[in-house]
Amino acid sequence: MKDHIFRTRKHHKVHEKTPLVPKIYLQSEQVDLCQLRSVQTLIKKLFRSLPKLDTVILNAGLGGFTGVDWPLAIWALLTNFRQEVTYPTFKLGGVGGLTAPQISEPASSGAKSSQLGQVFCSNVFGHYLLVHGIATLLSNSSATPGRVIWISSLEAYGSTFSIDGIQGLSSPSAYESSKRLTDILALTSRLPITQQWVDRFLPPPSNHRPPKQYVAHPGICATNILPIYWILVYVMTAAFYLARWIGSPWHTTTSYKGACAPVWLALASQEELDAIEGDGGAGKWGSAVDWQGEERASRTEVQGWGIGGKVGDNVGLPKNSRLREAEDLTEEGKERFALMGWSCWQAMEQLRVEWEGLLREEDD
């Protein structure tokens, strides 16, 4: 990190007397989001070592992918390259992946299982318990509200999620389902209909403003989340650059450029964010690039919410960014999305209370 800071200073010709390094202190902590006790341990450590938290970026997660349907991939990429390299239909996902047991096998507790969906726990529920546990630290920022930045994906398709299977255990699209749930939770977190549940998740502080929740995605980065042979990683990366050169705004390709939107959400002034949302509504922010690779934070369309929850408003939507099957937002669609938000917040709060109770019961 220090080497990167010095390189950045040199590149941008920062005045040598500017004391950047002394202001930065890195505190490394480890947590297994698939183990709830590990999450609880981190919460205790953070309370012992930090007086407050301004922002938490919930970036860790699992893909749960098992491979690629190669015949379908070849056909899809040859016939509809830009769409398929952005919204791929050929990835294979595992079904029914579970975490290790969270507690001893339940006997009288009434719990259905001692395990949780692995992708669900890593991508959503582990983060959910963490944020609830550190809500006080996020509320101790007196100048501006603390920020919770959920990291989603372009692949948060509405068709992959069902409230009846919130953990995605029976679906080959557990990753996409978890990201759809992430979108729903973040985008409905300030709607009046969900407040009875959100206020239990982040109890309103008596003397400060409660944290605000945002959602972002990194665009499309060349990472190892999809298990393919190492030589194909280079082919994938080349395909991403090609997609960018022919007009895709979402192929950030590198994780550094993919960090643009969440970092901007973390660093932008509250006045700027409030002004943008006042005009265009609360929305999902994505890391985008032009054909030369210049990154920016850009509005992203969400099925059932549009780009800001406003019917008929597509201002700020990048060219060539839409899913082929995307439909314009309607009042009926927005109402269904809000109701789904209520159901998701209710289910998540009930699940949190249940599991916190089970862990306490085992401790006793």
Cβ-based burial of 68 (10 A; exposed 0-12, middle 13-18, buried ≥19): middle
Q: Which residue has the tokens 């902590």?
A: 29
Distance CA 84, CA 339 (A): 31
Structure tokens that stand for 10 in this block: 């040199």
SS3 65: strand
> Checking DSSP bridges between strand 91-93 and strand 65-68, what pairing results, if any?
antiparallel
Q: Which is the catalytic residue, given 87, 128, 175, 214?
A: 175
Element (H, E) at 289: strand 284-289
SS3 6: helix
Quick one: how far is CA 124 from the chain centroid? 8
Cβ-based burial of 188 (10 A; exposed 0-12, middle 13-18, buried ≥19): buried
Q: Which is the catalytic residue, given 87, 91, 178, 179?
A: 179
- Is there a catalytic annotation at residue 175? yes
Q: Which residue has the tokens 């979402």?
A: 250
Mark out the alpha helices in the chain (DSSP H runs): 2-11, 36-49, 70-79, 81-86, 118-120, 126-133, 135-139, 174-187, 195-201, 230-245, 255-258, 260-267, 270-280, 331-363
Handedness of CA 134, 104, 352, 115 (dihedral sign): positive
SS3 295: strand
- Is there a catalytic annotation at residue 179? yes
Q: Which is the catalytic residue, given 122, 139, 141, 152?
A: 152
> Checking DSSP bridges between strand 284-289 and strand 91-93, what pairing results, if any?
unpaired
Structure tokens that stand for 156 in this block: 């948060």
Distance CA 25, CA 29 (A): 13
Distance CA 216, CA 152 (A): 6
Distance CA 287, CA 112 (A): 40
- Is there a catalytic annotation at residue 173? no
Do 61 and 31 contact (CB within 8 A), yes or no? no
Q: Which of 35, 23, 78 is nearest to 60 (CA)?
A: 35
Distance CA 67, CA 69 (A): 7
Q: Which residues are designated catalytic? A: 152, 175, 179
